[in-house]
Amino acid sequence: MSVREIVLWPDPRLTQTCVPVEAITPEIETLAADMLETMYAAPGRGLAAPQVGVLQRLFVMDVGWKEGKSDPLVCINPMLQEVSEDRATGEEGCLSIPGVLAEVSRPAQVQMVWTGINGARYVQSFDGFAAACVQHELDHLDGVVTFDHLGADARAALMAEYAAQ
């Protein structure tokens, strides 16, 4: 395992739609392990493949590790099956846009289906911070970043703040 370089905004790879993972190969296994190590080193709670320059539909997350409740997930070809009508707004950061926090409104609960690194299919419901994390990482697989969820004024202000760093 190794820590990979995190792609930073405005790298064009962050705006591209990722292709499905065709098979769980040794390269995919290494990518997933490297992504977990990179996420923990950053330190973050989620990381999508395009954030390390790989345009495939894979992300990793571990929302509880900072509180001593580690539960790492490797999500291959994830898809939302259900989203609640209830919304939740919270501050989101992004490892590819360091130093910037944005208020983002998202569905409060989601149900996701994905393939694990072991090849098994999983279905799980997420709420609270985990729901936001799932949606944030799925956004990356579709070429969407935090800035894309903001109105023009908020986007311009945060982009200026990021550029000034």
Cα–Cα separations (whole angstroms), residue 28 to 18, 40, 58, 156? 14, 18, 9, 37
**pTM exceeding 0.85:** yes
Q: How confident is the model over 98-118, as pLDDT tens digits?
A: 999 999 999 999 999 999 999
Phi, psi of 53 (to 5 degrees): 85, 10
Domain ranges for the chain: 12-163
Of 136, 65, 143, the C-alpha closest to 107 is 136
Confirm whether 137 is a catalytic residue: yes
Kindly indicate the confidence band of residue 11, based on its pLDDT and cuts at 50, 70 and 90: very high
- The mean per-residue pLDDT over the stretch 57-73 comes to 96
Helix/strand number for the chain, H first, E second: 3, 7
Q: What three-state secondary structure class fits 163?
A: helix
Judge whether residue 57 has pLDDT over 90: yes
Q: Active-site residue among 22, 92, 137, 161?
A: 137
Q: Which CATH number among 3.40.462.10, 1.50.10.20, 3.40.50.970, 3.90.45.10 corresponds to the domain 12-163?
A: 3.90.45.10
Rg over alpha carbons for the chain, rounded to the nearest Å, is 15
